[in-house]
Amino acid sequence: MKKAKIYIPSKTAMQSGRGKQKKWVLTFETKDPSINPLMGWETSTDTLEEVTLKFSTKDQAIEYAKKNNISYKVIEPKKKEFVIKSYADNFIKN
């Protein structure tokens, strides 16, 4: 049985906005990771590792996994708390 995880990817350091964080992604987990004896890199014979599926909602991703008999794990995104303060707060000593 194939194993996958469903999540919203975190933004990279090069992104300032949260525009690309709206899509849910389904990625497959590698079955047999091993070390390549020649180069020393991690390698696998499992080609599903290269597949990344994007969905508009979490429910669509879960439905796809169930329909295709894929064992899945949902990773919920962390909620960010924004602290709103004024520019003058930078100069006030506590």
- Residues 19-25 have a mean pLDDT of 79
Q: Which domain holds residue 17?
A: 2-90
In this predicted structure, the answer to whether residue 7 has a pLDDT above a threshold of 80 is yes
Residue matched to tokens 């990773």: 75
Structural domain total, the chain: 1
Give the pairing of strands 52-55 and 42-43.
unpaired
pTM, to two decimals: 0.69
Instruction: Give me the CATH number covering residue 84.
Output: 3.30.160.190
User: Rounded CA gap, 88 and 19, in Å?
Assistant: 29
Quick: pLDDT tens for 80-92.
788 888 888 888 8
pLDDT confidence bin for 54, thresholds 50/70/90: very high
The predicted structure's pLDDT at residue 15:
65
pLDDT at 9: 87
